[in-house]
Amino acid sequence: MFAHERADPATAFGFLTDTTLCIGCKACEVACKQWNQLPMDNFGYTGHSYDNTGALAAATWRHVAFV
């Protein structure tokens, strides 16, 4: 997806997450990508947990390190 295909910046949203309550379900990432019309990343198993984003990417703006 290209920048000109994204939602109007006036309707794009971000949010804060209390990471002390995070269980790694990634529901916040899915909701953010749906709302802002971003493509899903096809990350696989990294060894720490299923679908743990290894780093930030063009369409992944959230990364929670699993320790």
Confidence of residue 1 (pLDDT cuts 50, 70, 90): very low
The answer to whether residues 66 and 49 touch, using CB atoms and an 8 Å cutoff, is yes
Contacts of 24 (CB under 8 A, 6+ apart): 49, 52, 64, 66
- Summarised one tens digit per residue, pLDDT across range 21-67 is 887 777 887 787 788 787 776 655 555 555 556 666 777 666 666 55
Confidence of residue 17 (pLDDT cuts 50, 70, 90): confident
Task: State yes or no: pLDDT of 7 exceeds 70.
Answer: no
Task: State yes or no: pLDDT of 15 exceeds 50.
Answer: yes
